Structure 1
Amino acid sequence: MSRNIDPLSVEEASGGEEEEDKRTEEEQRGAAGEWSRETQVPVKVLRAHGDTVTAARFCFSDRCILSCSSDYTAVLWDVESCRPLRMFDGVHGKTITECALIPNSNRMVTVSWDKKMVVWDLETGQIVWKSRQVGLLTSCSVSSDGRLIVCAADPQNGVYISDAASGQTQHHVSDHHRSTITRCRFDPQGQQVASVSADRSIKLWDLKVQKTIVSINSNHGNVVSDCCFTSNGHFMCTASWDKTLKLWDLQAGGFRSHGGTSLQRAHEGSVSSCSFSADANLLVSGSYDRTVALWDTSPLCLSLIMKGHSDWVTDVSISADGKLVASASKDGTVRLWDIENMEEIPQVMEKRRTEGSGIHILKCAECGKPFPVSRLQTSELLTQCVFCRLKSPSRYRPQPPPVM
């Protein structure tokens, strides 16, 4: 019996049924709640979906994961046992594109290509309410206070903002982008909605003034597939089919003239997803090259590539304590990666040794000369050396620390 070797796998190529049986046994143990050591990073494999898993998100203080799929179902998983606690089905008739927990409640929302937005009670599995929008729903997000839900519709390229308790539409922004909106996200304060699109733009729509306050040409070379905020809302990251990610300093505003800071050379395929850790020290990204990448944001460098999925990685998220990463895939599984002891992995140890000074060398966007940075700085500082910055003083002023 021949074995197809995944060219992206960290395993050494070896043949025979014995090795195939061993790998299957490892994965079965992982699915039963034990950490498999088939890769550099301990991993558990969660199996219940019968088709592409489109999203996987931690919830309930990292004790559970919510996932949804092209098989028209959503699943609430127990992280410890890696077994489904409840499956939600029988309502959607097409791919569920995204799901999200509604904070301060025991509810979640799902949106689908069948044009339905559905809010479920996670304890009983019952439907709280459902609504039908005009277009295919491609993404959803819930405000941090749990009061509002935003979803994106295609081909109208618009967003609907609804009351989470009743489903009543509060705002409808039509023709918000020139092409499909791939992701919409509330900022951490719940005051703005960020959206990214196949038109390669980024927009921030303000709920108070009810208009677009920021519109950015991302300079990505292809579809912008995802976006995420740091917990303080100062930085946003975008992922793109151009195989890169970009970091945007929304507080300083330097992105208006200098663009974002590119993170590249990690993925060989389109980047599908991105997510910050709660403390913003880590950034995780997923790609159609079947890999999950971990980035250290101080300095801005790649720490680790995790391999194991047999098809596209469609979504990633990181636990609130920064110890676990969840990845969803077209291979029908959710993988749970234990990164708590990441520093002990030889690949990461070597990076820490060679980059232990915390110095990252960048190329000045104006004069082209290399210059060092030692921490997560503003987009303007990251794109210009000190000499070019001195020639054109910035309007940026340091902000006072938050009140504790």
Structure 2
Amino acid sequence: MLCNRAKKQFKAKQPDYSPNAEEKVVRTLQLAPNNQVQSGSVIHSQTVSRSPKIQNQNQNLAGATTTSDEKAEIVENKTDTGMDNLPWIKNSDKREKKKITIANVECSVLLFYVFFVNKNIKNSKKKWQREPTFSMEKQVANVEPLTTPKGLIACVENYVYLCDVNSQKGRKFVEHTSYVSSAQITTDGRFLVSGSYDHLLYIWNLQSRMILYRLQGHSDFVNSVDVSSGCERIVSASDDRTVGVWDIAQGKQIHCLKGHYNSTTDARFRKGQFNEIVSSSYDNTVRLWDLRVGTKEVKTLRHLDGVTGVDFSPVTNTVASSCFDKIVHVWDLASTNEEVNLLKGHTEKVMKARFSSDGLLVVSASFDTTVRLWDVEGEFSLQILKGHSKRVNSAVFSADDMCVWSCSDDCTVRLWTRKKLIDPL
């Protein structure tokens, strides 16, 4: 009995939190005088006074006069929960909202990577596949494409080898007395131009395989040769720190461009032009020349390490350079003359970088035994082509961009074919 009585007394002392308590407050306020509320007067019942939240609000009414509008506002305030104005409740809500926002951002980034980036990387790996390997007798220094879809020019020791995969025919051009570093065929298909460590450039007749001209002018190794798209001129880079410009019809040197203070590693014409030239050197620079304004460079692009190769984009006003710093640098020549992208991924020196014919892709060859494909505007390599066992000296797209040729010190030339131009996401 005592226990039950104690329970009843305990329940009687508990505040009334029921909705009826708030209704009783409203009724009591309506019974109060319209003009004022007496100071210290108690206008609520004992049941209402047990509710702490209403009791705190009613303390503010002591000694205050109320109009009819203010009385309405008081009535509305009685129906509030009384918890919204607590500072720790507000801060906790802000923290919860901040956590939810951060979680949503992290989730969005994760979903973007899973459904777009990761899927694109996986799809890009399906674009290229390795074809049978072409074994050469000795190390292969350089490769260049022929006009046929699967034709190539390979520089092997002291000779130039031309072959076509479809016809399975090959031709050798043997005459140089030293290492052949570079070779190209004119766009009209009439002549073959080769450069060698014997300091000479040869112009060959493709049909008769006879040498038309022996071009003398360099005093050291010839590292690269390029032919203008109109078949008018040849440009060459040499260890004698100069860039040579040669006239094909006359078979003689017409310009000697000086400015580099170390070995010149590569030189290329802009597509459709024979007056605009870009060259690279171990002096950590890429230099641009315009023969219409003279034989002095018009722009200099500075690197932090030796530059091994360079190429003009056939479409846009950009240049790609390969460097000892393991990076392919992409430069904008139109306005800023600054790097617009750095293609990072190789783990050793990058020896060559070449654009595709549409200017959207770059292929690079490196001493890390890999060939990489890049989106010019991307940050990561689209695909890593593995197969060579020694350093890769050169890589280039075929004439139709459906194949990639690569050559290495492992005495092989590898062909990589493209399965699809676009893979659906």
Change (3 A) 1:105 1:43: closer
Q: Please tell me whether the aligned partners of residues 201 and 216 of structure 2 are also in contact (alpha carbons under 8 angstroms).
A: yes
Partner of 1:97: 181
Amino acid at match of 2:327: T
Give, in angstroms, the shift of residue 63 of structure 1.
Answer: 4.3
Partner of 1:281: 360
Q: Please tell me whether the aligned partners of residues 260 and 281 of structure 2 are also in contact (alpha carbons under 8 angstroms).
A: yes
Among 410, 413, 416, the residue aligned to 1:331: 410
Give, in angstroms, the shift of residue 286 of structure 1.
Answer: 0.7
What is the TM-score of this pair, normalised by structure 1?
A: 0.69
Which residues in structure 2 correspond to 1:2-401 (within 5 Å)? 41-47=129-135, 49-69=136-156, 71-81=157-167, 83-89=168-174, 91-133=175-217, 134-154=219-239, 156-174=240-258, 176-188=259-271, 189-219=273-303, 221-251=304-334, 253-255=335-337, 258-264=338-344, 266-341=345-420
CA distance in structure 1 between the partners assigned to 2:422 and 2:366 by the alignment: 23
CA distance in structure 2 between the partners assigned to 1:84 and 1:130 by the alignment: 27
Q: Please tell me whether the aligned partners of residues 218 and 259 of structure 1 are also in contact (alpha carbons under 8 angstroms).
A: no
CA distance in structure 1 between the partners assigned to 2:209 and 2:248 by the alignment: 17
Tell me the alpha carbon deviations over residues 280-319 of structure 1, each in whole angstroms, 9 at most, x when there is no partner. 1211111011100011235453110000011111111102
CA distance in structure 2 between the partners assigned to 1:246 and 1:298 by the alignment: 11
Q: Which has the larger radius of gyration?
A: 2
CA distance in structure 1 between the partners assigned to 2:400 and 2:170 by the alignment: 22
Tell me the alpha carbon deviations over residues 68-127 of structure 1, each in whole angstroms, 9 at most, x when there is no partner. 12x20101111325x4421111x2111111111112242111001101110112222211
CA distance in structure 1 between the partners assigned to 2:302 and 2:356 by the alignment: 23
Change (3 A) 1:339 1:63: closer
Partner of 2:4: none
Q: Please tell me whether the aligned partners of residues 324 and 340 of structure 1 are also in contact (alpha carbons under 8 angstroms).
A: no
Q: Please tell me whether the aligned partners of residues 128 and 419 of structure 2 are also in contact (alpha carbons under 8 angstroms).
A: no
Amino acid at match of 1:241: F
| Local SS of the residue matching 2:262 | coil
Structure with more helix by fraction? 2
Tell me the alpha carbon deviations over residues 123-144 of structure 1, each in whole angstroms, 9 at most, x when there is no partner. 2221121122322211111111
Amino acid at match of 1:102: T
Partner of 2:17: none
CA distance in structure 2 between the partners assigned to 1:298 and 1:238 by the alignment: 15
Amino acid at match of 1:135: D
Q: Please tell me whether the aligned partners of residues 86 and 125 of structure 1 are also in contact (alpha carbons under 8 angstroms).
A: no
| Local SS of the residue matching 1:317 | strand
Q: Determine what percentage of the aligned residue pairs are the same residue.
A: 28
CA distance in structure 1 between the partners assigned to 2:354 and 2:148 by the alignment: 17
Structure with more strand by fraction? 1
Give, in angstroms, the shift of residue 232 of structure 1.
Answer: 2.5
Q: Please tell me whether the aligned partners of residues 286 and 314 of structure 1 are also in contact (alpha carbons under 8 angstroms).
A: yes
Q: Please tell me whether the aligned partners of residues 322 and 340 of structure 1 are also in contact (alpha carbons under 8 angstroms).
A: no
Q: Please tell me whether the aligned partners of residues 41 and 342 of structure 1 are also in contact (alpha carbons under 8 angstroms).
A: no
CA distance in structure 1 between the partners assigned to 2:305 and 2:192 by the alignment: 31
Q: Please tell me whether the aligned partners of residues 148 and 164 of structure 2 are also in contact (alpha carbons under 8 angstroms).
A: no
Aligned length: 297
Amino acid at match of 1:283: V
Question: Which consecutive residues of structure 1, in runs of 5 or more, have no partner in the other structure?
Answer: 1-38, 354-404
CA distance in structure 1 between the partners assigned to 2:323 and 2:291 by the alignment: 26
CA distance in structure 2 between the partners assigned to 1:195 and 1:130 by the alignment: 23
CA distance in structure 2 between the partners assigned to 1:281 and 1:164 by the alignment: 31
CA distance in structure 2 between the partners assigned to 1:40 and 1:115 by the alignment: 38
| Local SS of the residue matching 1:140 | strand
Q: Please tell me whether the aligned partners of residues 218 and 260 of structure 1 are also in contact (alpha carbons under 8 angstroms).
A: no
| Local SS of the residue matching 2:166 | coil
| Local SS of the residue matching 1:44 | coil
Change (3 A) 1:233 1:40: closer
Amino acid at match of 1:262: L
Q: Please tell me whether the aligned partners of residues 141 and 186 of structure 1 are also in contact (alpha carbons under 8 angstroms).
A: yes
Question: Which consecutive residues of structure 2, in runs of 5 or more, have no partner in the other structure?
Answer: 1-126
| Local SS of the residue matching 2:143 | strand
Change (3 A) 1:84 1:210: farther
Give, in angstroms, the shift of residue 51 of structure 1.
Answer: 2.0
Change (3 A) 1:319 1:311: same
Change (3 A) 1:40 1:205: closer
Change (3 A) 1:290 1:148: same
Q: Please tell me whether the aligned partners of residues 201 and 215 of structure 1 are also in contact (alpha carbons under 8 angstroms).
A: no
| Local SS of the residue matching 2:178 | coil
Give, in angstroms, the shift of residue 148 of structure 1.
Answer: 0.3
Q: Please tell me whether the aligned partners of residues 181 and 197 of structure 1 are also in contact (alpha carbons under 8 angstroms).
A: yes
